[in-house]
Amino acid sequence: MKAFEYATALSTDSAQQMAANNGHYLAGGNDLLGRLKDYLTDATILVDVKSLPGMNRIESGSKHWSLGGLVSIAEIEDHGGLKKELLGLHEAASEIGSQQIRNVATLGGNLAQHSRCWYYRQRDTVCLKKHGDLCFARHGDNRYHSLFSGNTCISPVVSNLATMFAALDATAIIQREGKPMRMSIAELYERAWDNPIAHNSLKEGDLILKVEVPTTRPQSAYLQVSDKHEFDWALVSCGAAARVTKGKLSQARVVLGCISPVPHQVRAANEFLEGKTLDDETVSKAADLVLKGAEPLQFNGYKVPIAHALVRRTLLKLKG
């Protein structure tokens, strides 16, 4: 690990000013410190943002919930109101890492984490995402990689919260150049779709202040499949949310994670679900639409039937 300065920020403006010159924000540190140790990232200064006022709050309102960027994953998991009104978000948080990791990992860090592709994480391999010439996974060991991608890099987004927030139509509030701006979850990741270098759409110095989750979809659910039952990354994840009235869906959203550089959502599937009754035929057709055009590689074709099953099962969970 290279030497760096360390400073504690007391305001979002001072945090951005200190991080402007090749600085990085330090909150839980689960991803950042690992990248520093492996020489995947260097920094002249680490700016501790854990003391920034107001960013560790969970607040409810008539139209939306507000979750600060410094809220820990454990706090999301343990919050009674979130579990009651946004069950899918509780389920997504509870699947992240171990209890020790959830105690320190933050909402903002989970959304902003870098690729988990082992070629990217291998410090001696200069892959496409590290400004190299090749995506080694595309013709190498790609068992954990994407089924959809808009560029040569096939590293998938692995954030549980991103998958569920996308299904809930959440909005991220980002501070950029001293001003807050609003981004949908799709916008937060869209740059990674066609830019192999990008992990998300955040620019240097951007700070995730909070995420707003509308209350318009009271039924939500999250499921994932992993190699191990606990403390493991998802092979495929799925989030779904809707309003269910007299057995019929409205404003339904279904999103897959870990199969694309962005949370994978298909408008045709969401439109198909509008007004439908949840039954085996409906959820199977929706899964077909979500996975239409998938391009499995040599070792990750198993993800297609897993994703299909997860879409079906997650949607059926909305029945309660």
Q: Are 212 and 64 in contact (CB under 8 A)?
A: yes
Q: What is the pLDDT of residue 10?
A: 94
Residue 69, φ and ψ in degrees, nearest 5: -65, -20
Cα–Cα distances in angstroms (integers) from residue 206 to residues 56, 200, 220, in the given order = 18, 11, 29
Digit-coded pLDDT (tens) for 25-35: 999 999 999 99
The residue-averaged pLDDT of 22-27 equals 95
pLDDT, averaged across the chain? 96
Give pTM, 2 decimals: 0.97
> What is the CATH topology of the domain spanning 1-53?
3.30.43
Residue 205 is predicted with a pLDDT of 94
pLDDT category of residue 231 using cuts at 50, 70 and 90: confident
Q: How far apart are the C-alpha atoms of 217 and 164, rounded to whole Å? A: 12
Alpha-carbon distances, residue 84 vs 63, 213, 218, 245 (angstroms): 16, 14, 9, 18
* Mean pLDDT on 78-82: 98
Print burial letters for 150-181: b (CB count within 10 Å at least 16), e (below 16).
ebebbbbbbbbbbbbbbbbbbbbbbbeeeeee
Radius of gyration of the chain (CA): 19
Distances 157 to 200, 201, 258, 267 between C-alpha atoms, Å: 9, 12, 5, 19
Average pLDDT of the residues in 192-208? 97
Count CB atoms within 10 A of the CB of residue 268.
11
Per-residue pLDDT, averaged over 53-78, amounts to 97
Give whole-number Cα distances, 188 to 72, 157, 279, in Å.
Answer: 20, 12, 33
Does residue 320 carry a pLDDT above 80?
Answer: no
Looking only at the bridges linking them, the beta strands covering 64-68 and 45-48 are unpaired
pLDDT of residue 255: 98
- Among 194, 144, 190, 202, CA closest to 166: 190
* CATH top-level class of 58-113+155-317: alpha beta
> What pLDDT score was predicted for residue 261?
98
The reply to whether 1-53 and 58-113+155-317 are identical in fold is: no
Q: pLDDT tens digit string along 86-123?
A: 999 999 999 999 999 999 999 999 999 999 999 999 98
Instruction: Count CB neighbours of 76 within 10 A.
Output: 25
Average pLDDT over residues 261-279: 98
Domain spans in the chain, listed from the N-terminal domain onward: 1-53, 58-113+155-317
Query: Residue 277 and residue 257: Cα distance in Å, rounded?
Result: 25
Q: What pLDDT, in 10s, does the model give residues 151-183?
A: 999 999 999 999 999 999 999 999 999 999 999
**Both tokens of residue 267?**
């408008």
- How many CA atoms lie within 13 Å of 181's alpha carbon, on the beta-carbon side? 14
Alpha helices (H) along the chain? 12-19, 32-37, 73-78, 80-85, 87-94, 99-104, 107-112, 118-121, 160-167, 185-189, 191-194, 267-273, 280-291, 303-317
